[in-house]
Structure 1
Amino acid sequence: MLAYLRSIGVATVPEPPLETPRQQLLVAYERYLTRERGLRLLTVTKYLHIASVFLDGLPDPFPDALAALSAEQVIGFVCDKGAGAKSISGGLRVFLRYLYLSGTVGRELDEAVPPAAGWKLSGLPARLDAAAMAAVMATCDRASTTGRRDYAILMLLARLGLRAHEVAGLELDDIRWRAGTVVLRRKCGRSEELPLPVDVGQALVDYLQIRPAAGAFRAVFMSVVAPRRPTTRAAVTLLARRHCAAAGVASGGARRLRHTLASDLLAAGASLSEIGLVLGHRSVSVTSIYAKVDRVALAELVRPWPLADPEEANPWA
């Protein structure tokens, strides 16, 4: 209606507001994150929010405050966030690095962001044993469309270790049946082709035979109820949690299925580089967390206690 009123001259077309220097900077930063860094929309949104909050704290005039940005201001901003400092540190470093690369500021301030204490890698990766994994798979009613879809998704998560967004982004053309492979869309716009296990392929076939009509959509997994839409990353995450809970697995989900695959591959003798290839890691340092679950190999690194007398070895006995 508004477009029609404007076309006959009854309603005027408002002039777009002039972009402020702050808005221009955020627009350029968004372009950098999407085009040059190739980050996902979810990550771009998070980084833009962090940058926006940081810029809101600068005094007027904005251009002068930005040019005079100091390490003390960066440290103060992070320290004021308290317990939330850990969640913004990474995004703030990316933004400060962009400011230097774009010539907006004359100094590299990303190293001024104080490190936040965190013990993310202190524990062992959570995994499921064979009985728990079978119980999770058994929660799918494979006589129904929903059950077949969920079973195929769980098989991709458990047998290929896919991330939730990789499952949601899978398209029909990505499955190369004759070659027995599947093309996966990894982070930062990368694509990799991996072998498709027979049992995973059979689960996909069982679902695709009764997959709801999707019109022009080429996504493999679709919503079961109308309106028909491709399954989202959030839906895959909730689906995995729901089936794990139904099987009595506490704190289960897509990430735990992924950890289970990595742990099983390590136990079968696969190297960290091979595990990283399956999981889509770009650095072996990310995969190295799974080395901690290989207790047999780690036991060989343990040095014997230097005291020969067993009684002296334990002074508290």
Structure 2
Amino acid sequence: MGVNSMKEALLSDIIQKTREEVQAFEYRCSTMKHYERYWKDLSNHFARHEAKMYSDQLVDQYVSDMKNQLDTGFISNSKYKNVRRAVYLLKDYVNGGSLHWRRMQKPCQRITRPEWIQILACYARHLQKNLKSVGTIRTYRRIAEQFIEYLELKGSPEVSEITPKDVSSFFPHISIRYPKGLHVVLPTIRSFLTFLEVEKLAAPRLSWAVPQYCHRTIPPVSIVTNEEVKKLLQTINRNTPVGKRDYAVLLLAARTGLRRTDISKIRLCDINWRNNSIEVIQEKTETPVALPLLTDVGNAVADYILNARPKSESPYVFLRHCAPYLQMSSAVCYEVTRKAMDRAHIHQNEGERKGPHCLRHAVASQLLEKETPLSVISTILGHKNKNSTKVYLSTDVKKLRFCALGLTGIEVAREELK
């Protein structure tokens, strides 16, 4: 059955084909019961509209009706999520002719005009030609999408009709969402508008409406001490498969300083057991880094692989522990650290970071205490720019005290001290 013909097939046939594809994911019976329930509910929705043939419009209407029930409190958020997932599987099969498991994206406002969709695709290719990293392209595109959504919200002017006022009014709007991230938003919008100007799609000098400077408040580097790391590790139950995985993930972050995206993407072939080393290509910088595999880290990873890792053909070390057994996401790595901090009552004050990046900061801080040169720390952390490592100087309080200026020679009257 071709992709085009599937959109003209019976809904019951689509459900049956999707059911057969989903069985390969090895979902639990309880999960399959959820999907069956909502597929039956969807079938009833079609029946109420006297329709038997599959229709994207009716499917979207069904999801919209369930969203209204969520907003009015008739159904829970978990039920609505299951509804979306069940429908997502059907639409995925209809559009692709088969199913490949992937995480369901959160619903978001969509850009409706084909002109803007085409421009965004061209902009992404432009960034690729300029050798931007995958992470940078993802960030630039997301912010450009939000700029376009803002324009459509205001009345969706033509690309050629965008004015400097439209550009300047966007920043107070976006600052609500990114109060600490305008230093990223400004160059992104400037890049996007410059692209439009070069392609002669927008008025010349439109990028001049983007502010040249944005005051950036750099918060203190958030770290955890050695004693706090021990408390974090003690909160994990290593007698369960998930506990063995989480312990290995947490220990790996605490000892190597690897980013969570890099931990989640470690493959079995990246670990050299003979030389006791880990070699990965960092996602953020796309540069290779080789780190020693310390004894306790190696033991924890080996314990997980041999005694807890689900049987899977996946090349990645850390996997999901519910079907399908695929690569663990970086979000899970964050949650492992956050939950351990909550259990250990660490970093519970407002504004304190809780992710594995705190452990990365801790590694840098420990290296500074041992008077390791910044160039070496930069290499260990995999920084592309050595200046990125200088932020960790603020963690070495003992040496910062030597930089403090005395008050000798500054004579003040007692009244001025009051």
Shared fold, TM over 0.5: yes
Aligned partners of 2:278 and 2:291 also within 8 Å: yes
Match of 1:208, SS state, is: helix
Give 2:191's aligned residue: 97
In 2, distance between residues paired with 1:137 and 1:126?
18
Of 134, 137, 140, the match for 1:39: 134
Q: Which residue number in structure 2 is paired with residue 272 of structure 1?
A: 374
Query: How many residues are paired up?
Result: 309
Corresponding residue SS for 1:109: helix
- Show the counterpart of 1:316: 417
The equivalent residue for 1:74 is: 167
Higher mean Cα deviation, 186-195 or 92-101?
Answer: 92-101
Q: Deviations over 1:47-72 (max 9, x none)?
A: 34324325536877624225xx43x4
Quote the RMSD (CA, aligned, Å): 3.6
Structure 1 position 169, deviation (Å): 1.0
Is the aligned partner of 1:253 residue 2:355? yes
Unaligned runs of 5+ in 1: none
Structure 2 residue 293 is the aligned partner of structure 1 residue 196: yes
- Choose from 389, 394, 401 the match for 1:287: 389
Please tell me whether residue 28 in structure 1 is matched to residue 140 in structure 2: no
* Between 24-33 and 85-94, the greater mean CA deviation after superposition: 85-94
Counterpart residue type for residue 332 of structure 2: A
SS in 1 for 2:313: coil
Asked if the contact 2:257/2:363 (under 8 Å) is kept, the reply is: yes
Q: Deviations over 1:135-167 (max 9, x none)?
A: 111122223222211111011110011111111
Distance in 2 (CA, whole Å) between partners of 1:235 and 1:222 is 10
Calculate percent identity across the aligned residue pairs.
22
Q: Residue 113 in 1 paired to residue 206 in 2? A: no
Does 2:283 correspond to 1:181? no
Q: Aligned to 1:201, what secondary structure does the other structure show?
A: helix
> In structure 1, what residue type is equivalent to 2:323?
A
Deviations 1:17-63 (A, max 9, x none): x9733221111123344563122386366334324325536877624
Contact 1:29 1:98 in 2 (8 A): yes
What do the CA deviations read for 1:76-112 (whole angstroms, capped 9, x no partner)? 2213445346445523522431442561354372782
Q: State TM-score, norm by structure 2.
A: 0.63
Maintained 8 Å contact 2:235/2:344: yes
Instruction: Tell me which amino acid in the other structure corresponds to 2:320.
Output: S
SS of 1:300's equivalent in the other structure is helix
Length-normalised TM-score, structure 1: 0.81
Question: Are 1:214 and 1:229, in contact at CA under 8 Å, matched by a contact in 2?
Answer: no
Quick one: which amino acid aligns to residue 109 of structure 1?
Answer: S
Q: Which amino acid aligns with 1:26?
A: L
Unaligned runs of 5+ in 2: 11-52, 57-111, 349-353
Whole-Å Cα distance in 2 between the matches of residues 4 and 80 of structure 1? 41
Deviates more, 1:109-118 or 1:194-203: 109-118
2:35 alignment partner in structure 1: none
Matched, 1:135 2:231: yes
Is the CA contact 2:144–2:188 (under 8 Å) kept in the aligned structure 1? no
Deviation at 1:199, TM superposition (A): 1.9
- Residues 188 and 31 of structure 1: CA distance in aligned 2, closer, same or farther (over 3 Å): farther
